[in-house]
Amino acid sequence: MSDTISDYYAALDRLKQRKAKINNDTVALAAGRKKGSIKKSRPQFIALIQAIEEAQKEVVRPEVVIADRLEQARGNAKDIQRRLDASLARELALVREVFRLRKELAVLRGGNVVPFHSPTQAAGVEQ
């Protein structure tokens, strides 16, 4: 029976190196045995089952890493969207202010107010 147990441990080591999914069934299949051959009710497998559980904790599964990266990307997208909305709101406020000032300037120019300089002199062009 110890030869069988050593086959299971060798299969567990191979799965760890490949960073594959590790559970009782995958270890059994990798050892060339049937799925479900590692049972908790069999006392000879207690240490093996504990080693499999430890290996599950050690192996970083790509699904977990991808899920973490996806969640981070979603958070970044939300932050970028929030910043974009804030900048658009500022721009809209500035456009409204420019529009209001242009209307006020048109009223002032249309009335009895005469500008001190002609528009070309204000732009720095000499006549």
> What is the amino acid identity at position 74?
R
- Burial label, 28 (beta-carbon count in 10 A; 0-12, 13-18, 19+): buried
Give the sign of the dihedral formed by CA 94, CA 97, CA 101, CA 107. Answer: positive
Structure tokens at 28: 């059994």
In this predicted structure, what is the pLDDT of residue 82? 96
- Going from N- to C-terminal start, the domains of the chain cover 2-58, 61-111
In this predicted structure, what is the pLDDT of residue 17? 83
Distance CA 16, CA 119 (A): 78
- pLDDT over threshold 90, residue 112: no
In this predicted structure, what is the pLDDT of residue 127? 44
pLDDT digits (tens, 9 = 90+) for 32-82: 888 888 888 888 888 988 998 888 877 766 677 788 889 999 999 999 999
- pLDDT over threshold 70, residue 117: no
Comparing 18-27, 79-88, 110-119, the range with the smallest average pLDDT is 110-119
Structure tokens at 12: 């567990």
Across the range 93-122, mean pLDDT stands at 76
- 46: which residues sit within 8 A by CB, 6+ positions away? 40
Across the range 99-125, mean pLDDT stands at 70
Q: What is the mean pLDDT of the chain?
A: 83
